[in-house]
Amino acid sequence: MSKRKPYRREMNNDWWLKNIFYSKYMIREGSSIFITLYSLILAWGVFRLSQGEEAFNAWLSALQHPVSIVFHLLVLLIALYHTITWFSLAPKAVDLYIKGKPLDGKLIVAGHYITFTIVTIFCLIVIML
């Protein structure tokens, strides 16, 4: 055993509440909890689907409960926040060079938003076919 006793600065668990930048970081990380719950709702839907028509329809009508509507509204807002943060980081991940020159980050972000809009409209059309 080492006899060394390194100094560890004390860190309270509310460190992320004292600075808006850190708060936004934790909201982004916290979005995971809501998206996890949403995925579990969908997984449950697949389970009900496998059980037959009656079970699946019960799952569908449970989604009409006011609590479910409010929850999904919240998930939608928080998922959009995830989308915004993800896209704003995109230039760091993509880092494209065209003819030796780095592509402007704004173009990469704009490309993501355009793709997002097309994908969203495409999905809405596909579901209504």
Partner 1 sequence: MNVQPTTNALQEKKYIRSNEPVFWGLFGAGGMLTAFLTPVMVLVTGLLIPLGIIDADHLSYDKLHGFASSWYGAAIILVLVALPLWHTLHRIFHSLHDLGIKRGRDWQQVICYGFAFAVSVFVFTLLLQMLTQ
Among 17, 76, 110, 114, binds partner 1 (CB under 8 A): 76
Length of the chain: 129
Among 19, 23, 86, 107, binds partner 1 (CB under 8 A): 86
SS3 102: strand
Count Cα neighbours of 113 within 13 Å in the Cβ-side half-sphere: 11
Regarding 110 and contact with partner 1 (CB under 8 A), the answer is: no
Site track for partner 1 across 25-64, x = CB under 8 A: -x--xx-xx-xx-xxxxxx-xxx-xx-xx--xx--x--xx
Regarding 2 and contact with partner 1 (CB under 8 A), the answer is: no
Considering beta carbons, is residue 64 or 99 the nearer one to partner 1? 64
Rounded Cα gap, residues 113 and 91, in angstroms: 13
CB 93 within 8 A of CB 112: no
Regarding 107 and contact with partner 1 (CB under 8 A), the answer is: no
